[in-house]
């Protein structure tokens, strides 16, 4: 995508709601799709939507991972590929990870990005809870998924 070539002015503002700074300095925004998007907030250049059903249409590039609420992705291999792509894109693009409420599935995916960024798998959930949302990653099987990612 032209214009998204590692320019610092294209990054999220780390002080905006939902923005997680990974240890490498990459910024990724997590959010809940049930809540309206602030019209003054920047839009992502790429979004990953973790939902049991088809996500809403968005005017930016996006991927849908079939991931029912409180569960795990329907296809673990596909989810891994999409999350690796999102992590790679986050070096130069505004990447958004979102589910319905922005905590369980989104928190799990953000913890997986933290693992890709070098956080030990057993510490990734705590990292996301400290830096994104204290209630992120809602179920025991989501925590196990992160540890095995």
pLDDT digit string (tens) for 51-62?
A: 999 999 999 999
Q: Find the angle CA(6)-CA(77)-CA(123) to the nearest 5 degrees.
A: 70
pLDDT band at 41 (very low <50, low <70, confident <90, very high): confident
- Distance between CA 90 and CA 45 in Å, rounded? 10
Q: Across all residues in the chain, what is the average pLDDT?
A: 93
Residue with tokens 């300095």: 25
What is the three-class DSSP state of 90? coil
Q: Which CATH number fits domain 41-148: 3.40.309.10, 1.10.340.30, 3.30.460.10, 3.90.190.10?
A: 3.90.190.10
Distance set, CA 114 to CA 42, 52, 61, 107 (Å): 23, 23, 22, 10
What is the three-class DSSP state of 74? coil
Q: How does pLDDT run across 59-75, given as a tens digit for each residue?
A: 999 999 999 999 999 99
* Contact assessment for residue 29 and residue 44, using Cβ atoms and an 8 Å cutoff: yes
Strand intervals (E) in the chain: 19-21, 27-32, 46-51, 61-66, 95-99
Model pTM above 0.85: yes
Residue 1: what pLDDT?
Answer: 37
Q: How does pLDDT run across 97-144, given as a tens digit for each residue?
A: 999 999 999 999 999 999 999 999 999 999 999 999 999 999 999 999
List all residues 6 or more positions away from 57 whose beta carbon is below 8 Å from its beta carbon. Answer: none
């Amino acid at each position: 995508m032209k214009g998204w070539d590692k320019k610092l002015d294209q990054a999220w503002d780390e002080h905006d709601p939902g923005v997680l700074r990974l240890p490498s300095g990459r910024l990724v925004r997590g959010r809940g799709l049930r809540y309206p998007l602030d019209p003054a907030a920047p839009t992502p250049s790429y979004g990953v939507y973790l939902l049991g059903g088809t996500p809403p249409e968005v005017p930016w590039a996006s991927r849908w991972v079939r991931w029912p609420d409180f569960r795990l992705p329907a296809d673990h291999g596909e989810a891994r590929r999409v999350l690796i792509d999102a992590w790679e894109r986050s070096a130069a693009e505004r990447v958004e990870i979102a589910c319905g409420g922005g905590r369980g599935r989104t928190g799990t995916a953000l913890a997986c990005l933290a693992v890709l960024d070098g956080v030990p798998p057993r510490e990734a959930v705590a990292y996301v809870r400290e830096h994104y949302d204290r209630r992120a990653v809602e179920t025991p099987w989501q925590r196990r998924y992160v540890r095995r990612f």
